[in-house]
Amino acid sequence: MRVIRVGTRKSQLARIQTDTVVAMLKALYPGIQFEIIAMSTTGDKILDTALS
């Protein structure tokens, strides 16, 4: 079976959005398995300094 990995940030909002999109993709492509990979960005790790 084909697996597509979907990357997302670990925030609650990002996870909800990703879960919604993956559910829609699963409905459209039932023969494909989707795996959600949560990751942290530099901005998620350094909260006390502006990155730009």
pLDDT band of residue 39 (cuts 50, 70, 90) is: very high
**Which H helix or E strand runs over 25?**
helix 12-28
Q: What are the domain boundaries of the chain? A: 2-43
Give 49's pLDDT tier (boundaries 50, 70, 90): confident
Please say if the pLDDT value at position 43 is more than 80: no
pLDDT digits (tens, 9 = 90+) for 13-23: 999 999 999 99
Q: What is the pLDDT of residues 27-37, one digit of tens each?
A: 999 999 999 99
Look at the pTM and tell me if it is higher than 0.85: no
Measured distance CA(49)–CA(7) in Å, rounded: 25
